[in-house]
A = this chain, B = another copy of it.
């Protein structure tokens, strides 16, 4: 079975990006559903698709119903889609595949390990896609679709997918929080965040060639207590960031001592 006709449930960043990628490889987006008609119309026009804000109006015979909705909405939408005959799949990092067990017969997961924070459509070729399915035929179909848009397709169980998602929180979400904290500290002293952009890009690019555990630098790994104490002083106005500084510094020192770095 090859997936050709696709219904997209949702009109946010993930829906937008995946639908556009499918369209580019010649798949047909036959319908887009979202409660937000404004967003839906825009996306439907771009993809030459029909649209609706009523789940019961969705075409019942597509090859794939892709749920790019919030985690909490997945179960509810799946229940409303009892009447459809194609594969039903969600795009979430943390929702177990079993969410579809009671309502659908062919189902799976199509999780892109990426944050889509803008409506700019990105190139999927190097974005890891994590595929899971409840039967072999369904897995084959999702796998084939995934391989058509990305070179990084992985069959990943629900439990491993949760671990990937959790690790991405550290590597991406908490990293962005670090950028926010840095910006806030600079702003308080009238300094520009622009000055940090080169070191941020370099820090990320380095892990393309080397393990991060080989790349740690800074006062903590040197156990430079004079600098560490001064930084903790400088953070007096930011007690929470002081706590983070102390906790992370402690972890780096421990790791250095146990030869992990």
Contacts and interface: CB of A to CB of B under 8 A. Distances in A.
Interface in A18-67: none
B251 A247 contact: no
A71 B227 CA distance: 9
Contacts of A122: 202
A177 B253 CA distance: 11
Nearest to A205: B201
Contact of A169 (B186, B195, B218): B218
Contacts of A261: 180
A203 B154 CA distance: 21
A79 interface: no
Interface stretch (A81-89, A100-108, A111-119): A111-119
A98 interface: no
A127 B138 CA distance: 50
Given A163-B189, A163-B234, A189-B163, A168 B216 contact: no
Interface string A165-186: 0111111111111111111011
Contacts of A177: 216, 248, 251-252
A160 interface: yes
Contact of A199 (B72, B115, B226, B244): B115
B200 A162 contact: no
Given A174-B248, A201-B204, A160 B189 contact: yes
Most buried by B among A162, A174, A201, A252: A174
B114 A173 contact: no
A115 B199 CA distance: 7
A155 interface: no
Contacts of A152: 195, 198
21 contacts: A113-B198, A113-B199, A152-B198, A154-B195, A163-B185, A168-B182, A168-B196, A172-B200, A172-B217, A173-B218, A174-B244, A175-B175, A177-B216, A177-B251, A177-B252, A179-B207, A180-B261, A183-B213, A193-B211, A193-B212, A201-B208
Given A167-B183, A172-B217, A176-B212, 9 more contacts: A113-B195, A113-B199, A115-B218, A122-B202, A152-B198, A160-B189, A163-B189, A164-B196, A180-B261
Interface of A: 70-72, 94, 113-115, 117-118, 122, 126-128, 152, 154, 160, 162-164, 166-183, 185-186, 189, 191, 193, 195-208, 210-213, 215-220, 222, 224, 226-227, 230-231, 234-235, 240-241, 243-245, 247-248, 251-252, 255, 261
